[in-house]
Every structure is written in structure tokens, then in C-alpha cells.
Amino acid sequence: MRTQVAIIGSGPSGLLLGQLLTNAGIDNIIIDRASKDHILSRVRAGVLEEGMVGLLDRTGAGERMHREGLPHEGVSLAFDGRTKRIDLFGLTGKRVMVYGQTEVTRDLMDKREASGALSIFEAGDVVLHDFDGDQPHITYKKNGTTHRIDCALIAGCDGYHGVSRRSVPKAAIQTFEKVYPFGWLGILTDVPPISHELIYANHPRGFALCSMRSSTRSRYYIQCSLDECIDEWSDDRFYDELRRRLPAEQAEPLVCGPSFEKSIAPLRSFVAEPMRFGSLFLVGDAAHIVPPTGAKGLNLAASDVHYLFEGLQEFFGEKSRSGIDAYSERALKRVWKAERFSWSMTMMLHRFPDTDAFSRKVQEAELDYLVQSRAASTALAENYVGLPY
Ligand code: FAD
Ligand code: DHB
């Protein structure tokens, strides 16, 4: 088989890029090692920046998001027994859209199917060949046969554990990493959320987040230790802990429904530089990870796709390499700002096991300053709704 762009990974990055390319008449094939059902069973991000909303609209897959998604104009920070709302819209003129990553993925998969573009699922042993030159190719195994795809360029959209970044010689890549000493225990439940906007809570017992997927589906998280055993977390225990970490006025309306998804996610900051190696471009989680506190993971994948798509259009349309040559530098500038924001939100809102009294006082002062100063609230709001691209 031959295509212009071979895309490894059918997550949000691969699907977004694939659809933009298809709409622009640039041929592409998506290869994923997982099944379609498995990909659609993953519960991940929930908050979309306007940039991501705009990209989804450009693909033509945004219709359901506008119908079912919830535009939010503010978020609340809870600490010290009180709740303070950050007026995102008032401070920045921008909103965020609450719409789950699972639904984004489903909408993009449906659009791709309707466009007739090829996706190969359950592809084993995906290997990238000759991407240091101009004629790369990919091999994979399916149903006992090895297949080959020749292409002009490869987009590595295969997430943190994917094969693309690992295929790059160690000497050609530099990585930066910070691992946090706790995780997030999250549940999904079909009960109305306790508040119509998100609440991020800092409490002596640990961080908590009240989010949602719709007006009848809630997504709750609590900070937990990394060695926590999920089987020891009954729904009752989860809700008791969540309630204790919220101010009384928020805890009171909490409706406890049975969870239908419960999982623990570790928290990590990670960046690989550069994001381009010859004919291979890393996109989204394949190149960088943020702790989820700033709701930036999926949104960063979207800005990478934007920069790469612009470069690919120039490359295939105008036969110019300037866009793809600038990709890594342009993307990384935005990546590091989101890394900084996600790290600072994580440091400000969590309880660290080894925090001394001085650091705790500084954290309290930071929260107090943030909600009292319009300048500080604006800085948070500007980052939360997403820096421009
Ligand atoms: P992915 O979604 O990881 O997609 C990569 C795809 O590549 C997958 O379909 C995978 O099957 C495929 N693949 C992997 N290896 C191979 C291979 N060798 N060959 C072929 N295909 C391969 N972000 C937030 O903003 N808020 C959150 O609450 C949040 N929660 C998260 C919870 C978890 C457990 C995780 C892992 C991430 C979370 N994120 C969150 C981050 C967000 O979901 C990611 O940033 C987003 O999924 C990135 O999209 P992606 O397409 O780059 O990668
Ligand atoms: C969700 C996850 C986040 O990490 C976040 O910051 C906000 C919302 C969510 O899953 O809804």
C-alpha cells in the first residue's frame, strides 16, 4: 500500500490530523494496535479549549459537540472551607466546552468512516523504517501476515507508550520528566453534577475535582497514593472521602450514584525534544505528557495537530518545507507554556506527602493571592481557556 501520510495511532491526535488531511485532499492511513471498541471504552479528558472546538468544527465533526456539550464560563477553586469562582469569560472573553474525549473520538471515527478514509485497527508489531530519509515505510502484522505501507511522511500520534518516540535513536532525543508522588482516583456516575461548573479543591486530606460529562453524568476525582488498591475503594468510601474534601455548601448537594468506571491515573510531566526526526513527526502524548490538573493534555494534542497540518498543507500543496521545518519549534513553544501551567496548578492544588510547614503556608498564600488579585485570576483564566495558536 502507498499513502501520503501514515498516521500511527487512532486517538484524538491521529483522528483530528487524519480528518483535516482528508478534507484537504491529502491521502492518509491510520494504523492502531488497539480495536475500535477498546479505543472507545477509554475515559479520559473532559474540557476542550476554543482552539480544539474550532479544529473539530473544521473537520466537520463538531455538530454533536455543539448540541450536547456544555459551554462553561467559569470554574471554582475551593480551599480553606470556601469556594471562589474564577470568571473565565469575564476575564478573557473565552469559554471552555465540557465534552468528553470519548465522544470527540467517536465523532471523529464516524466522520472518518463516512469519508471513506482507511483505518487499520488491531495492527500488531508496528515498525517504522527509514524515517531518517525521504522514503520511509511502515510494517505491521495483521491476521498472521506482514503488511507494508510506503509513505512520504509519518505522524507519530501513538501516545506516551507508543512505538514512534521509542524508534528514535536515543542520541537524537532529549527528554525532560517529573513524576508526582500521587495519582488520581476517578469515577464516572450517572447522577447530576453537584455544581453546574467545575470545582477544583485543595484540602488537607488531598486534592479533589468535581467535573461532569453532561447535566446527568458526573466525573469525580480524588488525589490518592500511588500504591492504592482500587478494589478497596467502594463507591461509599469514595463519596465519603470526596465529601470530606469539599466545603460544606458544596458537599451537601452531592448525589451518590453507582460508578460505572473507576480507575487510578498516575501524574507525570514529560517532554521529548525535538518533535521531528527526518520524515517522522511526534504529535500529542507521543511527545509530551502533562498532569491532568490544568485539563491540557488533549488540548495540547490539538495545537500540535494545528501546526503540523499547516506544515503538511504547505508541503503537499506548495511543495514548501518551511512549515514542516518549523513544526517542532512552534509546537514546543506552546507545549512548554502548558507544561508550566499544568505543573503550577498541580503544585498549588495537591498535598505533597513530604511538604513542610513553610511550603504549606506558601501554598495557602498563593491561593489567597490568586483569588483576590484580578491580575493573578486573569493569568490563571488565560491559561485555563488556552493560549492562542
Ligand atoms: P492517545 O489518546 O494515547 O492515543 C494514542 C493511540 O495510539 C491509541 O489509540 C493507542 O492504541 C495507539 N497506539 C499506541 N501504541 C501503538 C503502537 N505501537 N502501534 C499503533 N498504535 C499504537 N487529559 C486531560 O486534559 N484531562 C484528563 O482528565 C485526562 N485524563 C487522562 C487519563 C489517562 C489514564 C490518560 C492516559 C490520559 C489522560 N489525559 C487527560 C490526557 C489525554 O487523554 C491525552 O492527552 C490524549 O488522549 C492525547 O491524545 P493522543 O491522540 O495524543 O494519544
Ligand atoms: C476533567 C479532567 C481534568 O483533568 C480536568 O482538569 C478537568 C476535567 C474531566 O475528566 O472532566
Q: Let me know whether 262 and 355 are in one domain.
A: yes
| φ and ψ at residue 146, rounded to 5 degrees | -90, 130
DSSP letter, residue 194: S
Q: Let me know whether 213 and 355 are in one domain.
A: yes
Ligand 2 centroid – CA 317 distance (Å): 38
Helical H runs in the chain? 12-23, 36-40, 50-59, 63-68, 88-92, 101-115, 164-167, 235-244, 248-251, 297-317, 322-349, 357-372, 374-385
Q: Let me know whether 109 and 253 are in one domain.
A: no
Question: Is 200 known to be catalytic?
Answer: yes
Q: In this structure, what is the dihedral angle of CA atoms 266, 268, 273, 277, given to the nearest 10 degrees?
A: 10
Q: Let me know whether 17 and 161 are in one domain.
A: yes
CATH number of the CATH domain containing 202: 3.30.9.10
216 within a domain of the structure (yes/no) = yes
228 within a domain of the structure (yes/no) = yes
Q: 172: how many CB neighbours lie within 10 A of its CB?
A: 10
Range of the domain at 220: 180-267+350-385
Q: Let me know whether 66 and 141 are in one domain.
A: yes
Q: Let me know whether 328 and 204 are in one domain.
A: no
How many domains, in total, are found in the chain? 2
Q: Do 347 and 200 touch, CB atoms closer than 8 A? A: no
Ligand 2 centroid – CA 295 distance (Å): 5
Q: Is 16 left (phi over 0), alpha (psi -120 to 50) or beta?
A: alpha
Q: Let me know whether 224 and 117 are in one domain.
A: no
Q: Which residues contact 297 (CB under 8 A, 6 or more apart)?
A: 44, 45, 285, 289, 290
85 within a domain of the structure (yes/no) = no
Cα separation, 334 vs 39, whole angstroms: 27
Counting from 1 in the atom list of ligand 2, the atom nearest the Cα of 101 is 10
- The grid cell for 56 is 473539530
258 within a domain of the structure (yes/no) = yes
Q: Let me know whether 114 and 59 are in one domain.
A: yes
Q: Let me know whether 101 and 116 are in one domain.
A: yes
Q: Let me know whether 167 and 282 are in one domain.
A: yes
pLDDT of residue 158: 98
89 within a domain of the structure (yes/no) = no
Ligand 1 centroid – CA 13 distance (Å): 9
Predicted TM-score of the model (pTM): 0.97
Q: Let me know whether 190 and 252 are in one domain.
A: yes
CATH number of the CATH domain containing 20: 3.50.50.60
Q: Do 202 and 367 touch, CB atoms closer than 8 A? A: yes
Each residue's pLDDT tens digit in the chain (389 positions)? 999 999 999 999 999 999 999 999 999 999 999 999 999 999 899 999 999 999 999 999 999 999 999 999 999 999 999 999 999 999 999 999 999 999 999 999 999 999 999 999 999 999 999 999 999 999 999 999 999 999 999 999 999 999 999 999 999 999 999 999 999 999 999 999 999 999 999 999 999 999 999 999 999 999 999 999 999 999 999 999 999 999 999 999 899 999 999 999 999 999 999 999 999 999 999 999 999 999 999 999 999 999 999 999 999 999 999 999 999 999 999 999 999 999 999 999 999 998 899 999 999 999 999 999 999 999 999 999 999 99
Counting from 1 in the atom list of ligand 2, the atom nearest the Cα of 297 is 4
279 within a domain of the structure (yes/no) = yes
Question: Is 72 known to be catalytic?
Answer: yes
Asked whether the bond before 258 is cis by omega within 30 degrees of 0, the reply is no
Q: 340: how many CB neighbours lie within 10 A of its CB?
A: 14
166 within a domain of the structure (yes/no) = yes
Q: Let me know whether 336 and 219 are in one domain.
A: no
Q: Which ligand is nearest to the CA of 263?
A: 1
92 within a domain of the structure (yes/no) = no
Active-site position among 203, 291, 292, 389: 292
Q: Is 278 left (phi over 0), alpha (psi -120 to 50) or beta?
A: left
